[in-house]
């Protein structure tokens, strides 16, 4: 079913934007059957109460802080579900393309489904831990087929004192340098679906993104 899944991405533009602006936005990059299957998988997990309340921090400092972060997540695992497996395989291709195009040393990637219930948010933060700084590129795929202006849940990214709000439109992908951009999820008025993850660095050599 998913064996021939492809992405439709202007890679030259994506890499240029990521290198020069620290982020890139790509719409309609994945085939409809994969998007629909990922959305259905996430809805199934939600209905079966398989998602867990997300926390902040890592190692011994991990804690649930609803005043900071309100989403529920489940990590993707290879071999667990056909849609998850197809996505993971596609992201492996992206990892190799990032390595070649940006002279990176990305070794692996990790991804989780996320649902923000109505009224939830994620306060301004950076996608790096003090104890571990191996997140290099953040990846977000939105799975909200009926999102419209006024529904909230926009991704707000910061560059100094300026900010940009990105709408969580169905099929939209946002990638950015994990250590460069503080960001937040604005309060959502409806259930907000996404698939989020990070391309990870192995600690050797130099990288183009720094």
Instruction: Tell me the CA distances in angstroms from 82 to 49, 88, 203, one per residue in order.
Output: 20, 10, 32
- What is the domain-level CATH number for residue 128? 2.60.120.620
Each of the 210 residues of the chain gets a pLDDT tens digit; together they read: 444 445 667 888 999 999 999 999 999 889 999 999 999 999 999 999 999 998 665 555 555 556 789 999 999 998 889 999 999 999 999 999 999 999 999 999 999 999 999 999 999 999 876 656 789 999 999 999 999 999 999 999 998 889 999 999 999 999 999 999 999 999 999 999 999 999 998 654 444 454
| Total number of domains in the chain | 1
DSSP assignment, residue 186?
P
Q: Is 30 part of any domain?
A: yes
Domain carrying residue 27: 20-55+69-191
Q: Is 176 part of any domain?
A: yes
The H or E element that residue 94 is part of is helix 82-102
Q: Is 208 part of any domain?
A: no
Q: Is 85 part of any domain?
A: yes
Q: Is 111 part of any domain?
A: yes
The H or E element that residue 202 is part of is none
pTM of the predicted structure, to 2 decimals: 0.88
Q: Is 134 part of any domain?
A: yes
Q: Is 102 part of any domain?
A: yes
Pick from 204, 7, 8, 6: nearest CA to 106: 204
> Residue 82 CB: number of other CB atoms within 10 A?
14
Q: Is 6 part of any domain?
A: no
């Amino acid at each position: 079913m998913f064996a021939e899944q492809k992405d439709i991405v202007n890679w030259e533009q994506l890499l240029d934007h990521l290198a020069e602006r620290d982020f890139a936005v790509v719409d309609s990059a994945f085939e409809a059957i994969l998007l629909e299957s990922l959305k259905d998988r996430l809805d199934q997990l939600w209905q079966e109460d398989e998602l867990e309340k997300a926390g902040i921090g890592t190692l011994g400092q991990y804690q649930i802080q609803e005043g900071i972060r309100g989403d529920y997540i489940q990590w993707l695992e290879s071999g667990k579900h056909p849609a998850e497996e197809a996505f993971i395989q596609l992201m492996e291709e992206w990892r190799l393309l990032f390595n070649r195009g940006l002279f990176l040393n990305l070794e692996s990637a990790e991804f989780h489904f996320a649902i923000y219930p109505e009224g939830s948010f994620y306060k301004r933060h950076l996608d790096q831990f003090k104890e571990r700084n191996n997140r290099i590129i953040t990846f977000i795929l939105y799975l909200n087929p009926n999102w419209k202006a006024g529904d909230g849940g926009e991704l707000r990214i910061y560059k100094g004192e300026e900010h940009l709000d990105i709408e969580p439109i169905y099929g939209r992908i946002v990638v950015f340098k994990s250590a460069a951009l503080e960001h937040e999820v604005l309060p959502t008025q409806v259930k907000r679906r996404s698939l989020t993850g990070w391309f990870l660095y192995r600690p050797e050599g130099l990288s183009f993104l720094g």
